[in-house]
């Protein structure tokens, strides 16, 4: 079980985004006192591992080409070190 801040770190988003998902019903949770607790499997269903959520405007360059995956390029360059 994850708290809201832990879940937000796992999916690289703001904790308030996770709270909105809970309030809207997109992400099931349980209450323990004042905290929401989230199952890891529910979080993985909503946001698959490794997926980086970007605004639509950031997915293309100014010329309309797909944005290069810089994170993947850096990871590949570090392989074998």
Q: Per residue of the chain (81 residues), what is the pLDDT tens digit?
A: 999 999 998 888 899 999 999 999 999 999 999 999 999 999 888 877 666 666 778 888 889 898 888 888 888 899 877
Whether 15 contacts 4, CB under 8 Å? yes
What is the number of other CB atoms lying within 10 angstroms of the CB of residue 18? Answer: 28
What is the number of other CB atoms lying within 10 angstroms of the CB of residue 34? Answer: 5
Whether 40 contacts 3, CB under 8 Å? no
3-state class (DSSP) for residue 30: strand
Query: So what's the pLDDT on residue 15?
Result: 94
């Amino acid at each position: 079980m994850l708290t809201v801040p832990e879940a937000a770190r796992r999916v690289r988003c703001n904790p308030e985004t996770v709270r909105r998902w809970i309030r809207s019903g997109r992400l099931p949770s349980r209450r323990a006192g004042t905290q929401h607790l989230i199952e890891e499997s529910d979080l993985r269903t909503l946001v698959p591992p490794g997926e980086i959520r970007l605004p639509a405007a950031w997915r293309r360059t100014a010329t309309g080409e797909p944005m290069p995956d810089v994170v993947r390029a850096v990871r590949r360059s570090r392989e074998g070190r």
